[in-house]
Amino acid sequence: MLKSTTDMDWSACTDEYEKLVIRMSTPRVVIDNAVCSTATIVKVDSARSHGILLDAVQVLTDLNLSIQKAYISSDGKWFMDVFHVTDQNGSKLTDESVLRYIEQSLGSIQNGRTNRTNGLTALELTGTDRLGLLSEVFAVLADLQCDVVEAKVWTHNGRIASLIYVKDCNSGSTIEDSQRINRIEARLRNVLKGDNDIRSAKTSVSMAVMHTERRLHQMMFADRDYERTPIFKFSFDTPVVTVQNWAERGYSVVNVQCKDRIKLLFDVVCNLTDMEYVVFHATINTTRDQAYLEFYIRHRDGTPISSEAERQRVIQCLQAAVERRASEGVTLELCTEDRQGLLAEVMRTFRENGLNVTRAEISTLEDKTANVFYVTDAVGNRADPKIIESVRQKIGLSNLKVKELPLICHEKADREDQAVGVGGTVLLSLGSLVRRNLYNLGLIKSCS
């Protein structure tokens, strides 16, 4: 049967409409190295959806880029964002492959971003932190013939959260036997329980997980680490967080001031997103080694923060989000040939010399391992250099080195672009905020 002209016209209109929707929903990305002398400008605009800001920030922070400034505006149905980024040395981005990757990745963020386990089994662990705990965990995994391929470990306020990716030592593939998985979970749970954590110690096994660091934030949040009293009093300054309601515009205004570091914006936006808040506008600025972040947020139903209890909870959660990745103590980097039981031996050496691992990043590529450990003494103070050297000699001076973390130092920003200080928070008018965002997106010109 032949289609009528009307049917054919309608079909053509439908196809064109679908194409239009796709074009409008697909993020448009512009990378500019000419506008700013000190940073590469990355602009993104797209249809607004929950979590799109986090996805965009994740693309940049996964490359360990420093975000010097950012301007965000997403009123209505549209999302507009501009980032001023540099590499860890404070230089503009010039590698064409990196620029191409950023453009392609930001152009597909509507599709969601997750980690690929590549045939690995993911172990999630939470419990009470204690000296030597990781030594026991990796000893158990070695005893159960589990080869650790990747892992990340965070500790905060006396709690520990870890994602460990393992494979079978013999077959080199995913561990699928349910009885063996149950045995791994049970052994690890017993280690985490110790003598005093019978109720809160948790282990689970997954074949596929979301972004590792986002998942660690979720695990810490679910463990309510933000409510717990710190066991160790580290020397870093507590992030200053204020929350106020702007009743006239229906926003809650969140200000964060703290020491700047790589992935700071990701950590804050990740927690706001997982707490079901939507960022409508934001200004991020850095001066020297300090970061100033201001967010205009609402609940997903469009309402601002409604109670003093909720306001205090937001403050606690954002302080925890910043502190979880704050680096204290000595940073040690282990680079050597991978072999079964290596991590268990290294961790045992740390424990026997009174070193506590506060954070760890473990990775292997083919037969090489590249691991970074953040260590303190047993009570959270900076470790004695003599003990560090003794540990290095036992593990191998050429294998274990003291790593100097790159310093983040930004040039002083223009007076107009400086973020509003937390000590004297000023609620900017919506018109002024949007105008500044549009100006930095290049959509309007300055009248000066």
Q: How far apart are CA 131 and CA 362, in angstroms?
A: 19
Task: Specify which residues 80 forms β-bridges with.
Answer: 45, 73
pLDDT at residue 380, as a whole number:
85
State pLDDT tens for residues 241-293: 999 999 899 999 999 999 999 999 999 999 999 999 999 999 999 988 899 99
pLDDT at residue 408, as a whole number:
64
pLDDT above 50: residue 421: no
**Higher pLDDT residue, 169 or 308?**
308
Across residues 76-101, what is the average pLDDT?
A: 92
Share of the chain above pLDDT 90, in %: 62
Distances (CA, A) of 342 to 39, 110, 125, 411: 41, 40, 20, 43
Are 262 and 66 within 8 A, CB to CB? yes
pLDDT at residue 98, as a whole number:
95
pLDDT above 50: residue 411: yes
191 residue type, one letter: V
What is residue 31's DSSP assignment?
E
Are 260 and 290 within 8 A, CB to CB? yes
C-alpha torsion 403→338→114→332, nearest 10: -10
When the pLDDT of each residue in the chain is averaged and rounded to a whole number, the result is: 84
- Going from the N-terminus, what domains does the chain have, and what CATH number goes with each? 121-176+328-402 (3.30.70.260)
Give the range among 51-55, 334-338, 427-431 with minimum mean pLDDT: 427-431
State whether residue 264 is helix, strand or coil: helix
pLDDT above 60: residue 11: no
pLDDT at residue 232, as a whole number:
59
Across residues 108-130, what is the average pLDDT?
A: 76
* Consecutive H or E run containing 365: strand 356-365
User: 44, 41, 20: which is closest to 104 by C-alpha?
Assistant: 44
pLDDT above 50: residue 445: no
For residue 75, how far is the Cα from the chain centroid?
25
State pLDDT tens for residues 192-240: 987 777 667 889 887 656 799 999 999 999 999 999 877 655 555 789 9
State pLDDT tens for residues 366-395: 889 999 999 999 888 889 999 999 999 999
Across residues 75-87, what is the average pLDDT?
A: 89
Q: How far apart are CA 339 and CA 367, in angstroms?
A: 8
The DSSP annotation for 99-150 comes to: HHHHHHHHTTGGG--B---TTPEEEEEEEE--TTHHHHHHHHHHHTTEEEEE
pLDDT at residue 443, as a whole number:
42
Are 217 and 307 within 8 A, CB to CB? no
pLDDT at residue 448, as a whole number:
35
pLDDT at residue 329, as a whole number:
82
Q: What is the pTM of this model?
A: 0.84
Q: How far apart are CA 362 and CA 373, in angstroms?
A: 8
Q: How far apart are CA 160 and CA 157, in angstroms?
A: 9
pLDDT above 60: residue 323: yes
